[in-house]
Amino acid sequence: MKIIGWGIGIFLTFLVSVTSEAAAPQWQIVPSKSTLSFTATQNNAPVTGEFKTFTGEISFDPTQLTTSKVRIVVDMTSVSASYSDLTSTLITADWFNVKSFPEAVFIANKFTKLSDNNYRANGNLTIRDKTVPVTLQFKLAEYSDTKTHVIGTTQLKRLDFGVGQGEWKSTSEIKDEVQVNFDINTTRK
């Protein structure tokens, strides 16, 4: 009996550790309270746009970073800028080519705590047909049982993804570096 008891004990401990390992809670993005924007540099001045539609499968728990996972899918056709001619240029084949590549995907699989509420996520970002390792920093502005609020940023090089083909490969008018900012609110699934 003692051995069986030990056995059950070990089994339960194992079970608890497995379930807790897999138990990073899942979060649902609140679209009305979430933004994904980018700032490029043209003629030495900033120009900003955003993606209005994006979805995500988010399992995150700051105490279980190893089992946390994030997959964000961006609807590239939802790109929008303050100037309509800019929006219509960005969807063309030379830029995002949204007809052939309607989605961009970011998968983060490694999270590192930097300081109090600040974290780093390593992952892979696919835009067009190019997948490139990307690191982003974010601040966990809010984390409760019911909701989270994350504010973060990363810097990309547009040419790594082939964004800007042909004569647009020139970086003298539009710089290679593009700042991406996100501000995402989620609720517990």
Partner 1 sequence: MLIRNTSDRYGLLAILLHWTIAVLIIGMLCLGLYMTDLPVSPLKLKLYGLHKAFGVLVLMLALIRIMWSLSNMTPQLSSYLPTWQKLAARSVHFAFYIFMLLMPITGWLMSSAAGFPVSFFGLFTLPDLIAHNEKLRVIFAEIHEFSAFALIAAIVAHVGATVQHYVIYKENVIKRMWP
The binding site for partner 1 (CB under 8 A) comprises 42-48, 81-86, 89, 167-168, 170, 172-174
Q: Which is nearer to partner 1, 47 or 73 (CB)?
A: 47
Rounded least distance, CB 102 to partner 1, Å: 22
CB 150 within 8 Å of CB 117: no
Rounded least distance, CB 122 to partner 1, Å: 32
Q: Which is nearer to partner 1, 92 or 187 (CB)?
A: 92
The distance between the two most distant Cα atoms of the chain, rounded to a whole number of Å, is: 79
- Residues with Cβ within 8 Å of 4's Cβ and at least 6 positions away in sequence, in order, are none
The alpha-helical segments, DSSP class H, found in 22-147 are 84-90
Rounded least distance, CB 15 to partner 1, Å: 55
Rounded least distance, CB 19 to partner 1, Å: 49
**Which secondary-structure segment (H or E) carries 21?**
helix 2-21
Rounded least distance, CB 86 to partner 1, Å: 8
- 59 Rama sector, left if φ>0, alpha if ψ -120 to 50, beta otherwise: beta
Q: Which is nearer to partner 1, 24 or 163 (CB)?
A: 163
Q: Which is nearer to partner 1, 63 or 84 (CB)?
A: 84
By three-state DSSP, how is residue 67 classified? helix
Q: How far apart, in whole angstroms, are the C-alpha atoms of residue 96 and residue 101?
A: 7
Joined together, the tokens standing for residue 184 give 């995402």
